Structure 1
Amino acid sequence: MNETSEILRNTPTKKLFVSYLIPSIIGMLLMAINILVDGIFVSNGVGPEALAGVNIAVPIFSILLSISLWIGMGGATLYSIALGQNNLKKAQSIFTQSFFLATFIVGTLVVLLLWKQKEIAYLFGASDEIFPYVKDYLQIILIFGVVYVIENILSIFIRNDGNPKLAMIGLGVTSVLNIVFNYIFIFMMDMGVKGAAYGTGLATVIGVLVLLTHFFRKSSILKFTKLKFETKIVSEILKIGLPSFIVEASAAVTIIAYNITFMHFVGAVGVTAYAVVNYMHAVFLMLFIGIGAALQPIVSYHYGAKLYDRLQQFLKLGVITGILFGICIWFVGWQFSGSIVALFGEMPADVLAYTTKGIMLFFIGYLFLGYNLVYAEYYQAIKKIKLSSVIIVTRSIVLFLPLLWLLPTYFGGDAIWLAFPIAEGLTAIGLIIARNRLQALKPLKNKPAEPVLNVPGA
């Protein structure tokens, strides 16, 4: 049995969960801070219009991240299950296929988006006034798009290969250098929003180089093998990773829908206010994705190894962590909304007032978001894709989009902020009500036992 398997099987559940959770949370936070830093530096160094322009382009990050999570989490789940089954050659083949599949898909997409970047910008909600900023930022981000996805893929698989600390360090190097480069390019070299984009791109290249050091570890199972796409493996990667794709892709849809709605019902004040809230949301959303990223290698391994009792304990730890994170974030927004807005520099009085109100309403959604996402990510990790997808689509599309239009139509512009918390709250209530139905997941007699949804408050 390899070293990674020994650790996963024999480490006490709480200790093992924390050992994955802390690096995962820090790594995801650092990834989100890359986006947040761009917003803060652009707002303070260029102006509110530039901030709105960069926010219009932010869905590109969500699109690229959605693809890397789709293939990365799908492939990594299969990778860890193969490790649990002690099938190392299969695990290495899964990694190789996942890496090159993601590179090919993103490379093709980047070419198409560069070709139609003006149309994409206006589709995302740009106006003639904001478009020049969107163009300057979007073009450079797309050029570095493949590198950005490679970094995410490598960090996911390195975490699954028993090295969550290096995954965190690689993302940490990227984040720190992004701050340094942003300051140099925007404030010292006066490059505007182009400086923010170049800073992010160059920092990501160096982060990838750090992650590549994992392949020199003697204990590393993660290796490239001869590339041979297997239809069954590729199909499973795409199927299992689909919930992760939906989470991030729906985030892009959410941003676009919010921008369009704010522009229609509130105007430029609403778009600028939402830019501030959205930058914070990008950070907090990554916290919850980080919980899932910590659970996934542990859960998938134990599922493959059929260690179901320990699996139940990890589910409980994940749910409790998600709920506690949600409460803490809501409290921060409720008590420190003014300080959050101040990070983005001076704002006109009307923008400041509307943003502060928005934070206090929008952050209510975090009370439910962690609960919903942990369930979705857990079911994805044990290959119950339908359950995971239903949770995600319900909260992000089925409930959210109608609410986003109906609430301001009947209750005014302030009600736009409530679409997110109401959608998350209704989804959580639906999960609680569905507890008895989910008991149908219990295995039939004489079949291997699979973990059942049975956690406090579920």
Structure 2
Amino acid sequence: MEHASHQDKSAFATEPVGRLIAKFAIPCVISLVVNALYNIVDQIFIGWGVGYLGNGATNVVFPITIIALALAVLIGDGGAAYLSLKLGEGDLDSVKKGVGNAAVMITIAGIAMLVITIVFMNPILTLFGATDVLRPAALEYGYVIAIGLPFTMISTALNAMIRADGSPKFAMVSMLLGAIINTVFDPIFIFIFDMGVRGAAIATILGQIISFLVSIFYLPRFKTFHFDRSALRLHKRVCLSVLSLGVSSFITQIAITIVMALFNNLLAVYGAASVYGSEIPLTAMGIVMKVNQIMLSILVGIAIGAQPVIGFNYGCKNFHRVKRAFEVAIAAAEIIAIIAFFIFQFAPMSVVSIFGSEEGLYNEFAVKCFRIFLMLCPLNGFQTVAAIYLQAIGKPIKSAVVTLSRQIVFLVPVALLPKAMGVVGVLWAGPTADALAFILALAMIVYEMKKLKKMAA
């Protein structure tokens, strides 16, 4: 969250709520969508240049990237929260230590991730559902992607702290440049140099290196403190504080990895016993999850845009503005979720065809995936904003419960149930989890709103 100046503070209390939320939400939405598009751009070019098996291979490597991102947000979001807290206390020495220690920790984590991934690539891919058909291309793609992990982890973590330092546009430019480089080089390496999935991976890490260089360039230019070498000396207490503040972001990302690993394995097993085979369900589901990630990125961006407005006014006991900010965020998120619903239900083929021209069984299963798995996606708008609202009013445990209910608590058991329904049964886990998570979120929000009304009276 940006450090609020006196003007910002009065704006939080007086400026129209919709305009305020838009000011905070738009850079955040752009950053999150760019992040989601990174993977989708690869999928599109691989779909056209290599075919759906190439996309299947990248899907089993994708959870490795998510684990790297989870570590990056653990340290980066933790460092950003620590920076904001210590800045509020006026403790500039701790601000410097927090950023410096986070930078050292993410560098160590990035190198460790690179080494572990390269050494254990084969068993890791097995864990994430690689079949014998997909393994050769997955290894080819995975080894190159591993080289880029330290770069993407460091730039992601630094960008979170750069946003907290009051430079959200700089952080956004850092990510946009990387995404543009990836998009430019993908077709060159895949179509002109005929490098297949390896070409896509090289384009990805080139983009990641550019983002890394841009974010490193900011280090000596922090506005809130003067960065020097003493900041890099590790302090146990500072490191633990940073990690504890980033843990909820970490859990959310790790939940995605667990779900992807489980679904990949279930789809491969059930798919093998169906007309579709193992590879078609694996690939189609990967694409559906990544397209869905774009919708979720916009929803999370809107919710995060509302967070400082809700948090500030809640702290000031300005409860009617808290309620108004919540309503504006819900309305905006629901509009996005309903538009996505219409696309997924009534034009799924137009989305599927972006990722290459396949036919027959592949298209049939991909359309089923969109229509069944994302059937209740309009409920995601409410649930996403509800989780961030609970975080903003200082209820982190309730917020984590709402977030994890959809990702793990409901989705995993339901996905494991439908043995009799086979591969299509796995898809029904999506709407079932969405419905149950919505009911839980609604109950919590109704309770909190009643409390808010009493406090406002």
Q: CA deviation at 1:81?
A: 2.6
Partner letter of residue 260 of structure 2? Answer: I
State how far apart, in whole Å, the 1-side matches of 2:73 and 2:7 are. 25
Partner letter of residue 259 of structure 1? Answer: N
TM-score by length of 2: 0.87
Deviations 1:351-404 (A, max 9, x none): 101111211222234222232233333444565332222222222112111111
Q: Which residue of 1 aligns with 2:440?
A: 430
Aligned match for 1:105, one of 106, 109, 120: 109
State how far apart, in whole Å, the 1-side matches of 2:293 and 2:216 are. 26
Residue 128, structure 1, aligned to residue 132, structure 2:
yes
Q: CA deviation at 1:133?
A: 0.9
Q: Which residue of 2 aligns with 1:326?
A: 337
Structural mapping, 1:41-80, within 5 Å: 41-80=45-84
Kept in 2, the 8 Å contact 1:3–1:219? The answer is: no
Q: Which residue of 2 aligns with 1:449?
A: none
State how far apart, in whole Å, the 2-side matches of 1:219 and 1:395 are. 39
Task: Out of 372-381 and 336-345, give the one that drifted further.
Answer: 372-381
Kept in 2, the 8 Å contact 1:20–1:164? The answer is: no
Q: Which residue of 2 aligns with 1:6?
A: 6
Kept in 2, the 8 Å contact 1:33–1:283? The answer is: yes
Task: Out of 253-262 and 117-126, give the one that drifted further.
Answer: 253-262
Kept in 1, the 8 Å contact 2:334–2:378? The answer is: yes
Question: Cα gap change, 1:375/1:238 in structure 2, threshold over 3 Å: closer, same or farther?
Answer: farther
Q: CA deviation at 1:349?
A: 0.6
Residue 248, structure 1, aligned to residue 253, structure 2:
yes
Question: Cα gap change, 1:431/1:59 in structure 2, threshold over 3 Å: closer, same or farther?
Answer: same
Q: Which residue of 2 aligns with 1:157?
A: 161
Q: Which residue of 2 aligns with 1:270?
A: 281
Residue 227, structure 1, aligned to residue 237, structure 2:
no
Aligned match for 1:27, one of 23, 31, 42: 31
Q: Which residue of 2 aligns with 1:360?
A: 371
Partner letter of residue 5 of structure 2? Answer: S
State how far apart, in whole Å, the 2-side matches of 1:222 and 1:398 are. 44
Partner letter of residue 109 of structure 2? Answer: I
Kept in 2, the 8 Å contact 1:170–1:210? The answer is: yes
Kept in 2, the 8 Å contact 1:161–1:221? The answer is: no
State how far apart, in whole Å, the 1-side matches of 2:259 and 2:100 are. 32
State how far apart, in whole Å, the 2-side matches of 1:99 and 1:298 are. 29
Q: Which residue of 2 aligns with 1:279?
A: 290
Kept in 2, the 8 Å contact 1:97–1:229? The answer is: yes
Q: SS where residue 37 of structure 1 aligns?
A: helix
State how far apart, in whole Å, the 1-side matches of 2:242 and 2:331 are. 29
Q: Please, what is the CA RMSD of the aligned residues?
A: 2.7
Structure 1: 5+ residue runs without aligned partners?
A: 443-451
State how far apart, in whole Å, the 1-side matches of 2:440 and 2:67 are. 28
Q: SS where residue 127 of structure 1 aligns?
A: coil
State how far apart, in whole Å, the 2-side matches of 1:42 and 1:116 are. 25
Q: Which residue of 2 aligns with 1:118?
A: 122
Q: How many residues align?
A: 440
Task: Out of 53-62 and 283-292, give the one that drifted further.
Answer: 283-292
State how far apart, in whole Å, the 2-side matches of 1:368 and 1:223 are. 44
Q: Which residue of 1 aligns with 2:274?
A: none
Q: CA deviation at 1:227?
A: 2.7
Deviations 1:15-59 (A, max 9, x none): 332122111111111111110011111111112111100111011
Q: Which residue of 2 aligns with 1:339?
A: 350
Kept in 2, the 8 Å contact 1:333–1:363? The answer is: yes
Q: CA deviation at 1:220?
A: 5.2
Q: CA deviation at 1:295?
A: 4.6
State how far apart, in whole Å, the 2-side matches of 1:21 and 1:388 are. 19
Q: CA deviation at 1:311?
A: 5.6
Q: CA deviation at 1:251?
A: 1.0
State how far apart, in whole Å, the 2-side matches of 1:16 and 1:217 are. 27
Q: SS where residue 355 of structure 2 aligns?
A: coil
Partner letter of residue 194 of structure 1? Answer: R
State how far apart, in whole Å, the 2-side matches of 1:453 and 1:44 are. 55
Q: CA deviation at 1:412?
A: 4.1
Q: Which residue of 2 aligns with 1:86?
A: 90
Kept in 1, the 8 Å contact 2:141–2:198? The answer is: yes
Q: SS where residue 358 of structure 2 aligns?
A: coil
Structural mapping, 1:271-310, within 5 Å: 271-295=282-306, 302=312, 306-309=315-318
Q: CA deviation at 1:292?
A: 4.6
Deviations 1:234-287 (A, max 9, x none): 333323322211211111111111111111222322122213212312323322
Q: Which residue of 2 aligns with 1:237?
A: 242
Q: CA deviation at 1:63?
A: 0.8
Deviations 1:159-217 (A, max 9, x none): 22222222221111111110111111111111111111111111111122333454565
Deviations 1:318-377 (A, max 9, x none): 333333322222122123211001101111311101111211222234222232233333
